[in-house]
């Protein structure tokens, strides 16, 4: 890594994306999934816009409070919590918790008494670049039992949540989630529980990623928003106007407004074992110092020292600087043939899950520092 490699966040871009989201989903509470970008300046910027936080641990709750997010706008959205973590969050003042099991509900009753709980329903994750299936969420038919257990244990059964998988590319996933929510709200009401909110989770896509051939991925964002608006109206019609809605975007707010400034280590040409000639472009930043998602996400690359050199490009595998073969982008990307060691490279749309997934410095390549530009000064 060279001294000026870094991740640059554009606070005005992040704020603008947030404003657009609120325009598209009027009246919906936005809680930023802090895990996507645990950067104080970003949090502070969002907090000043009235955004809340979806926190995954007491450490994230502490960071959100430090950044000025009011307690009432922070929930503990991780269904995986130890007794100690629950008690810590409760001491910090958090009173809203996600759950998906009777065991977790009992722990909440013991360590966060009288808190509000919302039950996460599992989804298939189909259509997402990172499906968050299996590990989280109960079968929709089990939600009523879990929420009744919560009530008997002195907690307040408050809502339901879903997460359709991160970078969800289809509208069908949302339609399926609304169908599950509708069925579950009905089942829960039959058991005498009236819930006051539905948390639609994350999953809203970044707009700037490429596909494996370097072409724009082009997620159907407008159609997704239309499905969300229709789905929320349907749930209100069926289950009461009192239902409030929450979204927990991470990637959608920050991905396109972060750029990794990296450098070329070297462009090489050598033959594979089967004799195929192959270009490899090694960058100073890769999977272990900022671009962890390289196997799922294709970031567009920009080469400022070779503007408009479209004619003279070669297809290359792109990889990070470490001795790990997982530290490589999928697919082949067109890169300028004339790239030299030290040339600057801009890795676009790389603002989500970059700082948070960095290692302590695998192979001696230090985690990337970051800089924030723009934003009103507090």
Question: Which of 248, 256, 293, 327 touches ligand PLP (CB under 6 A)?
Answer: 248
Site string for ligand PLP, 65-94 (x = CB under 6 A): ------------x-----------------
Q: Which is nearer to ligand PLP, 127 or 336 (CB)?
A: 127
Q: Given the rule CB under 6 A, which of 30-38, 59-67, 268-276, 314-322 is the region that contacts ligand PLP?
A: 30-38
User: 72 exposed, middle or buried (CB, 10 Å; 0-12, 13-18, 19+)?
Assistant: exposed
CA distances from 6 to 151, 173, 285, 345 (A): 49, 35, 9, 11
Q: Which stretch binds ligand PLP (CB under 6 A): 187-195, 199-207, 302-310, 320-328?
A: 199-207
Alpha carbon distance 272, 279 (integer Å): 10
Using CA atoms, how far residue 205 sits from 83, 164, 201, 348, in Å, is 33, 11, 12, 15
DSSP symbols for 86-146:
HHHHHHHT--EEEE-SHHHHHHHHHHSTT-EEEEEBP---TTEEE---SSS-B-GGGHHHH
Quick one: which of 112, 181, 204, 224 contacts ligand PLP (CB under 6 A)? 204
**Site for ligand PLP (CB under 6 A): which residue of 54, 96, 256, 327?**
54
Residue 181's H or E segment, with its range, is helix 172-190
Say whether residue 100 binds ligand PLP (CB under 6 A): no
Tell me if residue 208 falls in helix, strand or coil: coil
Residues 306-365 that bind ligand PLP (CB under 6 A): none
Binding residue for ligand PLP, selected from 13, 15, 157, 249, defined by CB under 6 A: 249
DSSP letters, 63-77, are HHHHTT--GGGEEE-
Residue nearest ligand PLP (C-beta atom)? 202
Nearer Cβ to ligand PLP (163/306): 163
The answer to whether 252 contacts ligand PLP (rule: CB under 6 A) is: yes
* Residue choice 18, 25, 30, 33 for contact with ligand PLP (CB under 6 A): 33
Task: Give which of 15, 17, 76, 22 is closest to 43, Cα–Cα.
Answer: 15
Applying CB under 6 A, the span of 215-223, 244-252, 341-349, 357-365 interacting with ligand PLP comes to: 244-252
Residue with Cβ nearer ligand PLP (35 or 287): 35
**CB of residue 77 to ligand PLP, shortest distance in Å:** 4
d(CA 206, CA 218): 9
DSSP run (H or E) holding 184: helix 172-190
Chain residues binding ligand PLP by CB under 6 A are 33, 35-36, 54, 77, 132, 163, 166, 201-204, 248-252
């Amino acid at each position: 890594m060279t001294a000026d490699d870094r991740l640059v966040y554009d606070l005005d871009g992040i704020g603008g994306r947030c404003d657009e989201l609120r325009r598209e989903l009027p009246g919906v509470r936005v809680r930023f999934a802090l895990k996507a970008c645990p950067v104080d300046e970003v949090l502070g910027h969002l907090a000043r816009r009235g955004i809340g936080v979806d926190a995954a641990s007491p450490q994230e709750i502490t960071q959100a409070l430090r950044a000025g997010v009011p307690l009432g706008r922070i929930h503990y959205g991780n269904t995986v919590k130890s007794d100690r973590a629950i008690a810590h969050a409760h001491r910090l003042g958090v009173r809203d918790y996600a759950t998906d099991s009777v065991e977790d509900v009992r722990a909440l009753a013991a360590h966060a008494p009288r808190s509000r709980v919302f039950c996460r329903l599992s989804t298939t994750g189909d259509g997402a670049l990172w499906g968050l299936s299996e590990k989280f969420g109960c079968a929709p038919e089990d939600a009523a039992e879990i929420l009744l257990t919560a009530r008997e244990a002195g907690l307040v059964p408050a809502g339901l949540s879903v997460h359709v998988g991160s970078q969800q590319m289809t509208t069908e996933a949302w339609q399926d989630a609304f169908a599950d929510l509708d069925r579950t709200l009905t089942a829960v009401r039959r058991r005498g529980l009236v819930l006051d909110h539905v948390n639609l989770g994350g999953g809203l896509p970044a707009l700037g990623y490429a596909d494996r051939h370097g072409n724009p991925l082009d997620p159907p964002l407008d159609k997704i928003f239309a499905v969300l608006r229709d789905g929320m109206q349907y749930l209100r019609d069926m289950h009461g106007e009192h239902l409030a809605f929450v979204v927990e975007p991470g990637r959608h707010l920050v991905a396109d407004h972060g750029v990794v400034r990296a450098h070329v280590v070297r462009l090489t040409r050598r033959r594979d074992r089967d004799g195929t000639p192959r270009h490899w472009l090694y960058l100073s930043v890769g999977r272990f110092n900022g671009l962890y998602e390289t196997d799922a996400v294709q970031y567009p690359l920009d080469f400022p020292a070779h503007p408009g050199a479209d004619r003279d490009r070669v297809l290359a595998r792109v990889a990070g600087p470490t001795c790990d073969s997982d530290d490589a982008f999928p697919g082949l990307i067109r890169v300028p043939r004339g790239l030299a060691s030290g040339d600057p490279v801009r890795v676009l749309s790389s603002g989500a899950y970059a700082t948070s997934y960095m290692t302590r410095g695998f192979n001696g390549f230090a985690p990337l520092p970051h800089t924030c530009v723009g934003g009103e000064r507090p």
